Structure 1
């Protein structure tokens, strides 16, 4: 259960809003741009940026602010807490090598999907899935596979919190359609993304059984044209199934 808003520290919340905006901009953002987008006083933005810079969370370069590498340090530590990342990483790399495609590992946190590892095969699509990118679960094969592994009550909580915003005309945007899709995924064991997040992009994903460690899923991302043929789709699902099985066995019998 979440703490009530009254328990939060307003100044810390402001810092996180600024840090998130800097991350979303990517290319570097000026104080003036932060003032306008966040509707904060210039002096407030400046003070928070100075503090964030002192702690290595942002850096100033070419007149704008970007994330500092300290953020990478924190993320690198966070993804390794329970061993799922360390066990899954080499298998995801093998998956990319075997299929030639882009293979991904995603964790769920606070109702969003977080990309924690990607590996590129020889014919991988040139798509930027940078580590730490957050996505709505209903817009990706990874996320839908993960949602299908959760109880209906937990899915309802996630939808209540984040909604079902559209990313393309193909995105699922109603609760009824989502639960119908999740029923199919639970029956088949695999989720598909057919241009639901980005036009021209397809994906097939499956959840990982990690015990009580964390909610996770793996996927193969490819141009939609390569996902259409039935024999290719079957090849991808078989590869995903084998990879998931190896990861799950290693988690069960490997490191605690």
Structure 2
């Protein structure tokens, strides 16, 4: 594939538009990526025709991360005030879901076979891990929100990673996990900055140049790592065979081609 074909198949450039909800259905583990940007009034989560369902969560679960200002999501009449970088899990069986300004909400959904309660976790309240070193330009804080020892779900794992000032690398050494697909949403990327996202098979890598609030669909066979021109944040979310965060097949930088 050339650059244009790679971007068409693996990069989502237009998730966020003022006053709209955008949804993308992927056949990678049948996940849905979305962005909701309420402006003049609340936005209701629509039901894509592909689902053949009355409500979005009739057979699905949903993870929501607020990448904008503190704002409210309402699920079946219950309001959840989500801070910037906070996460709301919505379980299977939920009905109406609405989003209020001034939030900018990133959505990640996967099929679900059981119901777990809708649960809110604010930034810093998840499983917080300090990773990397300044010497290798990858000092970062990882917050796991949806995972087996935190917010319970059927198959979604989800969290937010923030790079420290002066650090630019994420997820190095790179890895694959054949049991799960993963999606990255890069945000807090300055207008004049970009992230070089590495993807592809470890023995034949490719790259994509990614701007703010753009998402990457990473198949299970692909590495997923990146380096920015300055510090940034990203939402990572996975779905598939298992939820074991440490189930990875690592590749050192000397093994990549």
TM norm structure 2: 0.28
Higher relative contact order (CA 8 A, sep 6+): 2
Rg larger for = 1
**Greater share of helix:** 1
**Greater share of strand:** 2
